[in-house]
Amino acid sequence: MIAFVVLSLAFADPATASTQPPAPPVVAAPAAPVDPKKDPNRMVCKYETPVGTHRPIKECHTRAEWQEMSDNTHLQIQDRHGYDKDVAKGGFPSQ
Protein backbone atom coordinates (compact mmCIF):
# COMPACT_ATOMS: atom_id res chain seq x y z
CA MET A 1 0.00 0.00 0.00
CA ILE A 2 2.78 2.41 0.90
CA ALA A 3 4.63 1.48 -2.27
CA PHE A 4 1.53 2.36 -4.31
CA VAL A 5 1.30 5.84 -2.76
CA VAL A 6 5.01 6.48 -3.28
CA LEU A 7 4.89 5.30 -6.89
CA SER A 8 1.77 7.29 -7.64
CA LEU A 9 3.39 10.45 -6.30
CA ALA A 10 6.59 9.77 -8.21
CA PHE A 11 4.83 9.31 -11.55
CA ALA A 12 2.10 11.90 -11.05
CA ASP A 13 1.75 14.49 -13.78
CA PRO A 14 2.84 17.89 -12.36
CA ALA A 15 0.28 19.64 -14.58
CA THR A 16 -2.58 17.87 -12.82
CA ALA A 17 -1.20 18.50 -9.37
CA SER A 18 -3.12 20.93 -7.23
CA THR A 19 -0.43 23.57 -7.00
CA GLN A 20 -1.12 27.25 -7.21
CA PRO A 21 0.25 29.20 -10.16
CA PRO A 22 3.19 31.43 -9.31
CA ALA A 23 2.24 34.90 -8.16
CA PRO A 24 2.80 37.64 -10.72
CA PRO A 25 5.80 39.84 -9.98
CA VAL A 26 5.07 43.02 -8.10
CA VAL A 27 5.91 46.00 -10.23
CA ALA A 28 6.00 49.40 -8.58
CA ALA A 29 4.11 52.14 -10.34
CA PRO A 30 6.38 54.69 -11.95
CA ALA A 31 6.76 57.86 -9.96
CA ALA A 32 4.94 60.91 -11.18
CA PRO A 33 7.10 62.87 -13.58
CA VAL A 34 8.84 65.78 -11.88
CA ASP A 35 8.68 69.12 -13.60
CA PRO A 36 12.33 69.91 -14.45
CA LYS A 37 11.76 73.57 -13.59
CA LYS A 38 10.67 72.65 -10.06
CA ASP A 39 13.42 70.10 -9.37
CA PRO A 40 15.14 71.19 -6.11
CA ASN A 41 18.51 69.90 -7.35
CA ARG A 42 18.44 71.93 -10.56
CA MET A 43 21.14 74.59 -10.86
CA VAL A 44 19.84 78.12 -11.29
CA CYS A 45 22.12 81.03 -12.11
CA LYS A 46 21.24 84.65 -11.44
CA TYR A 47 23.06 87.81 -12.41
CA GLU A 48 23.31 90.47 -9.72
CA THR A 49 24.96 93.86 -9.96
CA PRO A 50 26.68 94.82 -6.70
CA VAL A 51 26.44 98.41 -5.47
CA GLY A 52 29.26 100.55 -6.87
CA THR A 53 29.80 98.69 -10.11
CA HIS A 54 28.12 98.23 -13.45
CA ARG A 55 29.47 94.74 -13.88
CA PRO A 56 26.98 91.96 -13.03
CA ILE A 57 28.20 88.91 -11.15
CA LYS A 58 26.88 85.45 -11.95
CA GLU A 59 25.84 83.47 -8.88
CA CYS A 60 24.76 79.83 -9.27
CA HIS A 61 23.02 77.66 -6.66
CA THR A 62 20.46 74.87 -6.64
CA ARG A 63 16.78 75.78 -6.33
CA ALA A 64 16.80 74.38 -2.78
CA GLU A 65 19.76 76.61 -1.84
CA TRP A 66 18.08 79.70 -3.33
CA GLN A 67 14.92 78.88 -1.35
CA GLU A 68 16.90 78.41 1.86
CA MET A 69 18.69 81.74 1.38
CA SER A 70 15.34 83.45 0.74
CA ASP A 71 13.80 81.89 3.86
CA ASN A 72 16.79 82.97 5.97
CA THR A 73 16.50 86.53 4.66
CA HIS A 74 12.81 86.66 5.53
CA LEU A 75 13.52 85.35 9.03
CA GLN A 76 16.24 87.96 9.56
CA ILE A 77 13.88 90.74 8.45
CA GLN A 78 11.15 89.47 10.75
CA ASP A 79 13.57 89.27 13.70
CA ARG A 80 14.95 92.72 12.99
CA HIS A 81 11.52 94.34 12.95
CA GLY A 82 10.34 92.47 16.04
CA TYR A 83 7.73 90.56 14.10
CA ASP A 84 5.67 88.32 16.31
CA LYS A 85 3.05 85.86 15.12
CA ASP A 86 0.69 86.93 17.91
CA VAL A 87 0.88 90.55 16.77
CA ALA A 88 0.12 89.53 13.18
CA LYS A 89 -3.00 87.74 14.41
CA GLY A 90 -4.16 90.80 16.36
CA GLY A 91 -2.79 89.72 19.75
CA PHE A 92 -0.45 91.53 22.14
CA PRO A 93 3.33 91.45 21.60
CA SER A 94 5.17 89.05 23.86
CA GLN A 95 7.81 90.66 26.02
Convert the chain into a string of H (helix), E (strand) and C (coil).
CHHHHHHHHHCCCCCCCCCCCCCCCCCCCCCCCCCHHHCCCCEEEEEECCCCCCCCEEEEEEHHHHHHHHHHHHHHHHHHCCCCHHHHCCCCCCC
Reported as a single tens digit per residue, the pLDDT across 9-46 is: 555 555 555 567 777 777 666 767 768 788 999 999 99
Q: Residues 57-69: pLDDT tens digits?
A: 999 999 999 999 9
Instruction: Give this prediction's pTM.
Output: 0.49
Q: Where are the chain's structural domains?
A: 37-81
